[in-house]
Amino acid sequence: MKIQDLGTESESGNDIIQTEETLSEVLNVEKEYERILSLSPGVCAFQGYLPEETAGRLFYEGDITQELPRIQGISYQENPHVALTDLAYLRMLYYGLDGNTYVGEMIVNQKIKEDVLHIFRELYENRYPIERMVLVDEYAGEDEASMEANNTSAFNYRTIAGSDKLSNHSYGMAVDLNPKYNPYVKQVNGSSICQPESSGAYADRTKEFDYKIDEYDLAYQLFTQAGFTWGGSWNSVKDYQHFEKE
């Protein structure tokens, strides 16, 4: 609602009372919006679920050049494959495991930024629980450490574990969601090898537990509807946290 649309005074004075009340509401929304904009990623922004009139505008693309000092030489390295201009720095909200609203951040490829903004806004509106959402640089670019912290992330210029092939995360074309509960699982000599290492209890997907991604999960539905492939449907290995787009 625009302030100039709030109404005009009538003979009874009722309209001006309504205008003053609505103006106060708008100003309060703007004040809350500005407050949350100033918060650092990972910080609790609101106790509970943030009303839509404020939350909707808090899913947006920021200026990635301002983040370069944080990521240079860690998740981002000068390379012939991905330029900084190919990437988008996103600020979003997420609904924490404790039921509160947090400020999140993510770097993705420009090609999927609108998909990702839409998906995570839908997840927030449906109170989909996410434990953490900060850049992998907060963990010195170490994928294992980020996963152990159950950190939801995307861009990280690195190779696939055990190979010299670049991961789709290197291009910002993949997102890992709640990785501790949705590990990468590989069968070796009849045993399950998990990443992160502490996630063995979540390797058996026939079990029921909180935060499990499967074909009935909202995140799975939103990502696949947007044309992403889920790592949980792969044959040779399973990567239940992983969604990627070609």
Each residue's pLDDT tens digit in the chain (246 positions)?
Answer: 333 343 444 444 555 445 655 656 666 888 999 999 999 999 999 999 998 888 999 999 999 999 999 999 999 999 999 999 999 999 999 999 999 999 999 999 999 999 999 999 999 999 999 999 999 999 999 999 999 999 999 999 998 877 789 999 999 999 999 999 999 999 888 888 999 999 999 999 999 999 999 999 999 999 999 999 999 999 989 999 999 999
Report the alpha-carbon distance of residue 64 to residue 57 in Å, rounded: 18
Is the CB of residue 153 less than 8 Å from the CB of residue 171? no
Question: Token pair of 59, please?
Answer: 């899913």
SS3 61: strand
Residue for token pair 């994928």? 143
Question: Token pair of 106, please?
Answer: 């993510």
Number of helices (H), then strands (E), belonging to the chain: the values are: 6, 10
Domain boundaries, the chain: 40-244
